[in-house]
Chain A
């Protein structure tokens, strides 16, 4: 059953790639308005990525727009045969890192202070909760937690855990080998885990 659904997923992705390239060729032939189809298709993913990376809705909204404009301007450099979504993620990843570098890095509070203030909510988010009623609050908490990771670790965690890219796609976006993806992912996860260790230790001792 799982294998069938996996194959269906691969097929869906391949079809998506074929559709994308058709639209892109149309745009390159002069049909500017066809780009709205691309924006509509990838809007949620790009905005979600920007929000997870930048943890500020206004910055994320602007960044997502800029990413689509950059992609449009570079569309003639997109190579048919590769996946448009990974190409777009690559632009998004580079753009968000730029935004983070330009933005002030001053943290308003330390990680310890955040845990002190929001500890119970963080614990509920990771350990006890399955609740989806407080989705907005949880989203805010997640982006806040992610913002305490160095941008290098944050990029790969968001691409893997929020955007659910495969190792192969990650290698394409980050322009590195699969082994490098595994190593980078392991380091980033270790960092996030160590930040949350306190809650898991408490849970284990309960």
Chain B
């Protein structure tokens, strides 16, 4: 490997992410190349300081605080019972009765006239039907006299 290729791989060397052959080659190179040796040393110092940091710590009560924020398993959800009266029935009945009421009120004010109503009506005495074998004169029926014509 050339100096440039090795320089590009110095950090992988530092990370121990190279094959055995590449490692050997770089180890040999830095024995004689001051620039590569310094570059490697520089990064080892920086990396060393970061690795010496003691940022990873457990703290008392952390686990408990997290667990408190996790919802408890849901209580048994009551299975909805089938209703005896469906939701739509009551308003439907209400509307039904309302329509019926309006209908009844209208019928009361404007009684319907049917043949049966007339025939079966309780006819008062004054207007009894008179049956006559003779056909009355048309004019008599109409209530006009000859003088009128």
Contacts and interface: CB of A to CB of B under 8 A. Distances in A.
B27 interface: no
B107 interface: no
A65 B53 CA distance: 22
Interface in B40-63: 42-43, 45-47, 49-59, 62-63
Interface residues of A, number: 46
B12 to A, nearest CB: 7
B138 interface: no
A40 interface: yes
Interface of B: 11-12, 15, 17, 38, 42-43, 45-47, 49-59, 62-63, 65-67, 69-70, 72-73
Contact of A139 (B45, B47, B55): B55
Nearest to A35: B70
A143 B54 CA distance: 11
Contact of B45 (A44, A72, A126, A167): A126
Contacts of A135: 54
Interface string A12-49: 00000000000000000010110110011001110110
Contacts of A32: 70, 72-73
Contact of A161 (B42, B50, B56, B66): B50
Given A47-B59, A48-B57, A182-B12, A164 B46 contact: no
Contacts of A99: none
Interface stretch (A83-91, A101-109, A111-119, A184-192): A184-192
A36 B54 CA distance: 23
Given A30-B73, A142-B49, 6 more contacts: A47-B57, A129-B49, A138-B49, A142-B55, A143-B55, A189-B46
